Amino acid sequence: MKKLLSIALTGAVALSAGSYFVNSVQQTSMAATYGKYQMLEYEVYGGNSIIITDCLDMAKGKIEIPEKIEKFPVISIGMHAFENNEYITSIVLPEKIETIQPCAFEGCGLETIEMQEGVGSIQGSAFCDAKNLKYIEIPESVETIYYQAFDGCISLEYIVIKNPYCDIYDNANTISDTAVIYGYENSTAQAYAEVYGREFRLIDEAPTTEETTTTTETETTTTETETTTTETETTTTETETTTTETETTTTETETTTTETETTTTETETTTTETETTTTETETTTTETETTTTETETPTTEEIESLKGDANGDNAVTIADAVAILQYLANSDEYPLSEQGAKNADVAGGGDGINTDDALLIQQFDAGVAEIG
């Protein structure tokens, strides 16, 4: 069972403003209560709500998340809860779900998901590498779509974003480039599509679920068979000897051969000679005095040793926290460079990479903590 600390982040890049806003950083209590419900595992959060933390590997087909467990409302899908569950094809979320946490459905075999109004945020890598996901409708209640939320969804045909002001993380990997983006005119969805060269259509043109389902019609060909019946005439004599004469009908089949006449058309090509006039242009050369300003460039060693820069982009942002979380979940699939691993260890002073490092980087990005 995955019992990693659940880190709930709220914030996004507002594409129109080009700025990053972080409202809060929360961490679950270490004294959490855990339980099981059918194929699901969960955590009682804050003594009055439920976070889904895991799903058994044997689960398959359609999964409906209950509205309540132990009389408490289910409010969140936790980190890595359905990660790499290959046989789950459909998820139905209840109305009380508020957040879909980082990597919740990463690598899942999910094809469709139904979200209700009430979901507030879709966090980093929530559906990353869900390679069977075909389409998704984002409710109007969703205010933020985080970094790499739909990255690697190679089967994603379209995404409908119903909130015209939804904050979409300003990165090409936030939404798969295979998807047509549907939204309102002058919305953040349209702005995102224009910045990253994606196909955008107005939300009124979005297909319905019924249109998305493909119906295959089978054409049946009926072959009529002509049957020839042979009549048999029987003559009876007084000696009770029966002589049977059989009249046989022979059917002749006439075969018609069709000859096809081929006509060859000759095409006459006309060559037109074009007279070209050359115009001499007098060119005036203006000498421009160029002033060269010498700029002191930081050394490679100074850039590479930036504390907190786990992904090596020479900046400390929420993307570094996501990179650490993915590394902790699957270091083979999401490795860090040697320098990135050194930069990532910011919280414990040499005790190795853990969730405390990701949390400190998130707090630093929010402006509520410093990295020593």
Residue 242 has pLDDT above 50, yes or no: no
Per the domain annotation, does 244 fall within a domain?
A: no
**Residues near 313 by Cβ (< 8 Å), separated by ≥ 6?**
319
Per the domain annotation, does 292 fall within a domain?
A: no
Per the domain annotation, does 100 fall within a domain?
A: yes
Which residue, among 135, 115, 131, has the nearest Cα to 210 in the 3D structure?
135
pTM to 2 decimal places? 0.54
pLDDT-derived band of residue 289, with 50, 70 and 90 as boundaries?
Answer: very low
349 against 247, higher pLDDT: 349
pLDDT of residue 347: 81
**Secondary structure of residue 235 in the 3-state scheme:** strand
Residue 304 has pLDDT above 90, yes or no: no
- Please tell me the total count of domains within the chain: 2
Per the domain annotation, does 275 fall within a domain?
A: no
Which residue range(s) make up the domain with 354? Answer: 300-315+324-366
Distance CA 106, CA 6 (A): 15
Residue appearing with tokens 């990253």: 196
80 against 288, higher pLDDT: 80
* Last residue within a domain, chosen from 211, 234, 269: 211
In the predicted model, what is the mean pLDDT of residues 226-249? Answer: 39
Per the domain annotation, does 328 fall within a domain?
A: yes
242 against 312, higher pLDDT: 312
* Last residue within a domain, chosen from 166, 193, 211: 211
| Signed CA dihedral, 152, 154, 155, 156: sign only | positive
Give all strands (DSSP E) within 83-224, no chain letters: 88-92, 99-100, 112-114, 121-122, 135-138, 144-145, 158-161, 167-168, 180-183, 200-202
Torsion of CA 46, 52, 53, 57, to 10 degrees: 160
Residue 196 has pLDDT above 90, yes or no: yes
Beta bridge partners of 72: 69
> pLDDT by residue (tens digit) across 145-177?
999 999 999 999 999 999 999 999 999 999 999
* Last residue within a domain, chosen from 211, 239, 267: 211
Distance CA 178, CA 171 (A): 15
Count of CA atoms in the C-beta half-sphere (13 A) of 167: 21
